Amino acid sequence: MKARSALVYSVLRLLAFLVPFAILMLFPIMRQYYWLAAIFAALIGLSLSLLFLRRPLDEMTSGMAERRERERRAVSDEEAEDAATVGDAAPAPGDAASGGRTPGEGSDRSTAD
C-alpha cells in the first residue's frame, strides 16, 4: 500500500465531513444543536465519499491487497525450518508410527517357553 494513497483518501474523507460541519455551524440553530449538525455532516460526508472518492478508495484497497498477498506468499523462517527438519527426523520410539508402544511391549511372541 502506498502511504500517499492512504493519506490522500484520509484527508479527503476528513474534508468531506469538516466542510459540511463548518457550513452547518454557521446557522444559529445548529450552534445550539451541534450534535445534530455533526450527524448531518457525517451523513453528507458519507454520501460525498461514496459518490466522489471511489478511485482513491480503490487505489488504497488494491495496495493493501497487494501487500497482504506478498506477505502471504513469503515463507516465514519457522516454516522454512519445519520443512527442512521434517525430512531429516526419524520417528522416535513410542511415536504414533509404532502404535504408541515401546519396543517389546504388547508383542505377539512370548519369551517364556
Residue 60 pLDDT: 84
Residue 106 pLDDT: 54
In degrees, rounded to 5, the angle at the alpha carbon of residue 8 between the alpha carbons of residues 70 and 61 is 30
Q: What's the one-letter identity of residue 89?
A: A
DSSP 62-111: HHHHHHHHHHHHSPPHHHHHHHHHHHHPPPPTTSGGGTT--TTTT-SS-S
Residue 111's pLDDT band (cuts 50, 70, 90) = low
List, for residues 37-50, the tens digit of each pLDDT value.
999 999 999 999 99
Per cent of the chain over pLDDT 70 is 72
- CA-based nearest residue to 9, from 69, 71, 63: 63
Query: 25 or 65, which is more confident?
Result: 25
Q: Which residue matches cell numbers 455551524?
A: 25
List, for residues 55-83, the tens digit of each pLDDT value.
888 888 888 888 888 877 776 677 777 77
Where in the chain are the domains? 3-69
